Amino acid sequence: MGIEIERRFLVTGEAWRGGVTEACRLDQGYLAREDRVTVRVRVAGAAAKLTIKGPGGLVRPEFEYPVPLQDAEAMLATLCGGRRVAKTRHLVPHGGLTWEVDVFEGPLAGLVIAEVELPAADHPLALPAWAGREVTDDARYSNAVLASLDAPPRG
Amino acid sequence: MGIEIERRFLVTGEAWRGGVTEACRLDQGYLAREDRVTVRVRVAGAAAKLTIKGPGGLVRPEFEYPVPLQDAEAMLATLCGGRRVAKTRHLVPHGGLTWEVDVFEGPLAGLVIAEVELPAADHPLALPAWAGREVTDDARYSNAVLASLDAPPRG
């Protein structure tokens, strides 16, 4: 079992692009999305994993396991019922932490969200200039909810 | 990816007990149960696994992965919201196949269901005398639904 402690922000502007050290495309879908639990399958290049997250906000229980790529692709194609998200994830080191800047594609094009994992819930966070409004507790911006939208949320 | 081809029957009487070759106690819970997908975590002795099943009936897509026991116990305790089933599974060879006779415990005490996995959907099946009504397509008797009941289904 793990605990995910993560804060999330909308991204303003393009200045973050200057700090990118790595990028990869993620194709993920939701096998289940209930009040308590989401079950996600994600393909990143030749690697795939299955992730179970408990109730969220800032601190969430998280269980993650590698799965065969072929299984993940079959689950994405047949068991996610269209609840899918495609995005390119950019790693951007800032203030001693690695931020992940996700540029969404398809119906969510235009949406850019930055996530940062913290070693503790009260860990001080030096916000980069391009971090806009915090959406950690705004369920509309969770990937599990975004996966069902046909356009980015407004506001 | 796998495909599970399984038929399920209510069990009448106790004659099956004479054929038991092995038994083990299963403690399982449901992380998610949606129309299309169920996500189950199961502990059997010191082994645990996570199972994703697609839409059912007789033939269901199924993906299964071993997980650490400690993870499984944490998921059972915190993420299943009481949707749990405890039962003892008995293996009973019959007619060239291995039947699994599940004796439920707790609120489902009194319920006994026999399952048999088939190599093909049209595989001929020699029914043992203790196999009663078939419930393969009766969703009330799926373990995912049983997990939320406070008594065995009637009829």
What single letter denotes the amino acid at residue B147?
Answer: A
Question: Averaged over A127-131, what is the pLDDT?
Answer: 97
**pLDDT tens-digit profile of A85-97?**
999 999 999 999 9
Closest CB from A1, A32, A78 relative to B71? A1
The answer to whether the CB of A47 falls within 8 A of the CB of A35 is no
The set of residues, in sequence order, having a beta carbon less than 8 Å from that of A97 and lying 6+ positions away, is: A116, A117, A118, A125
Helices (H), chain B: 69-78, 143-146
Q: What global pTM score does this model have?
A: 0.90
Q: What secondary structure does DSSP assign to A1-40, as a single string?
A: -EEEEEEEEEE-SSGGGGG--EEEEEEEEEEEE-SS-EEE
- A98: part of which helix (H) or strand (E)? strand A97-104
Q: What is the pLDDT of residue A59?
A: 87
A 96-155 near B (Cβ less than 8 A) = none
For chain B, which ranges sit under pLDDT 70? 1, 155
What is the rounded CA–CA span in Å between residue B92 and residue A105?
A: 52
Q: What is the pLDDT of residue B18?
A: 97
Q: What is the pLDDT of residue A150?
A: 92
Give chain B's count of helices (H) and strands (E): 2, 9
Q: Which domains does chain B have, with CATH numbers?
A: 3-146 (2.40.320.10)
Is the CB of B63 less than 8 angstroms away from the CB of A71?
yes
CA geometry: angle B25, B131, B123, nearest 5 deg: 95
**pLDDT tens-digit profile of A98-120?**
999 999 999 999 999 999 999 99
Residue to substitute from B3, B4, B30, B34, interface A, most A β-carbons within 10 A: B34
What is the rounded CA–CA span in Å between residue A136 and residue A124?
A: 15
E strands of B20-104, at which residues?
A: 22-33, 38-44, 47-53, 59-66, 84-94, 97-104
- Whether B65 sits among the annotated catalytic residues: the reply is no
End-to-end CA separation in angstroms for chain B: 35
Closest CB from A36, A37, A75 relative to B52? A75
- Residues of chain A with Cβ-Cβ distance to B52 below 8 Å are 31, 39, 50, 75, 79
Only one residue has tokens 């269209």, namely: A82
CA geometry: angle A21, A27, A29, nearest 5 deg: 135
The answer to whether the CB of B3 falls within 8 A of the CB of B55 is no
Is the CB of A67 less than 8 angstroms away from the CB of B65?
yes
A 42-61 near B (Cβ less than 8 A) = 50, 52, 54, 61
Phi and psi of B76, rounded to 5°? -60, -40
Q: What is the pLDDT of residue B145?
A: 92
Residue to substitute from A52, A69, A78, A83, interface B, most B β-carbons within 10 A: A52
Closest CB from B1, B34, B37 relative to A71? B1
Closest residue in B to A71 (Cα) is B1
Question: Averaged over A9-18, what is the pLDDT?
Answer: 97
Query: Any chain B CB within 8 A of the CB of A79?
Result: yes
Instruction: Calculate the alpha carbon distances from A142 to A6, A57, A153, B142 in Å.
Output: 12, 9, 11, 31
**Of B24, B149, B54, B77, residue with least CA distance to A75:** B54
**pLDDT tens-digit profile of A31-79?**
999 878 999 999 999 999 999 999 877 888 999 999 999 999 999 999 9
ipTM surpasses cut 0.90: no
Bridge partners of B134, per DSSP, are B9
Q: Which of B9, B30, B104, B130 is catalytic?
A: B30
**Is the pLDDT reported for residue A151 higher than 90?**
yes
The set of residues, in sequence order, having a beta carbon less than 8 Å from that of A138 and lying 6+ positions away, is: none
What is the rounded CA–CA span in Å between residue A20 and residue A99?
A: 9
Residue to substitute from B52, B59, B67, B76, interface A, most A β-carbons within 10 A: B52
Is the CB of B63 less than 8 angstroms away from the CB of A81?
no
What is the rounded CA–CA span in Å between residue A32 and residue A131?
A: 30
Longest dimension (CA), chain A: 42
